[in-house]
Amino acid sequence: MKALFLTNEYPPHIYGGAGVHVDYLSRELAKSMEVEVRCFGDQASLGTNPEVRGFEVEMGAYTCPKPLRPVFGAVQRCLDFNTRDITADVVHCHTWYSHFGGLLAKLNYGRPLVITVHSLEPLRPWKREQLGGGYDFTVWLEKTALEMADAVIAVSKETKSDLERLFAIEPSRLHVIYNGIDLQEYRPSENGDALIRYGIDPAKPFLLFVGRITRQKGIVHLVRAIEMMGRDFQIVLCAGAPDTPAIAEQMKAAVKQAQEIRGGIIWIDEMLEKPDVIKLYSRAAVFCCPSIYEPFGIINLEAMACETAVVASAVGGIKEVVVDGETGFLVPVEQMKESPFEPIDPMKFSRDLATRINELMADPELQKKFGRAGRKRAEEKFSWSAIAQETKQLYETLVRK
């Protein structure tokens, strides 16, 4: 049996959890079956397993509005995915960027279509700021693809509930298979060279954030919480790849204001390479994930695997990864009914984050206890070998049909 992955992200071009998922799942599946990956970019690893082929597109001649260019660029790549013959038995899509390609493969080649849901467009209305009218297209495309797919994989039970609420998907086609973690790669490291390189004092504890600058990740709420945090620890923000110029400016203003109040704030304005991120996870006293929307929240699992205690918002799949009072603290987010993507009281959410962060930063023994429990949970529940086996069994069911 052979599987074809269609994806926007694939190494070395990864900026989010979906890319991490595709990277590890494709390599794990390749241990027991043939896997081909078609992705956005210049990647080329031919004659290997997984075999990887990147597809580029020239958007310089586009005269459409700038926000629409990534949308039309994605559609063009999806066409290109299909003009190259598809020999796989099943096609597996990741994120809306690849959904059009999956639909073409299903209808033209007659291949079963599997879609893993890493996020849902109706729950990310702020994407209109980035895509303009293209957001309406991505909402339509996602709905069409999910309701036509032969199998839809939710990365958490919470995401499954969202799918049941928002889409007309036959229950027999809906499955839950969690994200995973490479426990050999993500493990505690005592190497402190990355700290020195980025200006972090190795002798002083620090709070860590890792993620993109986007409304979804809640980074601005965390920065606003800094003025309410203790002054005896550093704050390291590994935050890059802003969604829009507007949120980039908002982030700059918030960090500047926080730096005027206290020292010890280190903003690493880029997406770091994996080895450096692991070193920062490992040496951090506490990791914070203040996301407003998170179908799974793989960054929490990465931190837990490195034996780092977590303070995270109690949203989406995070509640299935972080165990409150055992591997970290979960902070409730009371969201607006008419706009359930922002806290009713943003400053209350920031205060609540600061309260839990201060509590955990002041208790090194509790940090160690949570860290050990987090590693144990990662080992018991989220290995890639088990997740790949579940995925392969699903493929086999579809191919038999």
Q: What percent of the chain has pLDDT over 90?
A: 80
Kind of pairing, strands 174-176 and 151-154?
parallel
Cα 229 from chain centre? 27
141, 197: one domain: no
Q: What is the pLDDT of residues 224-255, one digit of tens each?
A: 999 999 999 999 999 988 888 888 898 999 89
Kind of pairing, strands 286-289 and 265-268?
unpaired
Q: What is the pLDDT of residues 104-132, one digit of tens each?
A: 999 999 999 999 999 999 988 888 888 99
Structural domain tally of the chain? Answer: 2
145, 220: one domain: no
Containing domain of residue 394, as a range? 2-180+383-400
Q: Is residue 291 within 8 Å of 252, Cβ to Cβ?
A: no
78 pLDDT above the threshold of 90:
yes
Measured CA to CA, the distance from residue 35 to residue 97 in angstroms comes to: 20
**Residue 85: helix, strand or coil by DSSP?**
coil
Token pair belonging to 209: 């954030």
Name the β-bridge partners of 153.
116, 175
Taking residues 359-368, report their average pLDDT: 98
Confidence of residue 212 (pLDDT cuts 50, 70, 90): confident
| pLDDT for the residue 337 | 54
Token pair belonging to 348: 């209350």
Q: Is residue 166, in this structure, part of any structural domain at all?
A: yes
DSSP 284: -
CA atoms within 13 A on the CB side of 45: 15
277, 342: one domain: yes
Name the β-bridge partners of 266.
236
9, 59: one domain: yes
82, 176: one domain: yes
Q: Is residue 188, in this structure, part of any structural domain at all?
A: no
Q: What is the pLDDT of residues 266-286, one digit of tens each?
A: 999 988 888 999 999 999 999
205, 156: one domain: no
Angle at 213 between CA 246 and CA 38, to 5 degrees: 110
| pLDDT for the residue 54 | 98
335 pLDDT above the threshold of 90:
no
Rg (CA), the chain: 21
Q: What is the CATH number of the domain that holds 305?
A: 3.40.50.2000
108, 6: one domain: yes
Confidence of residue 339 (pLDDT cuts 50, 70, 90): low
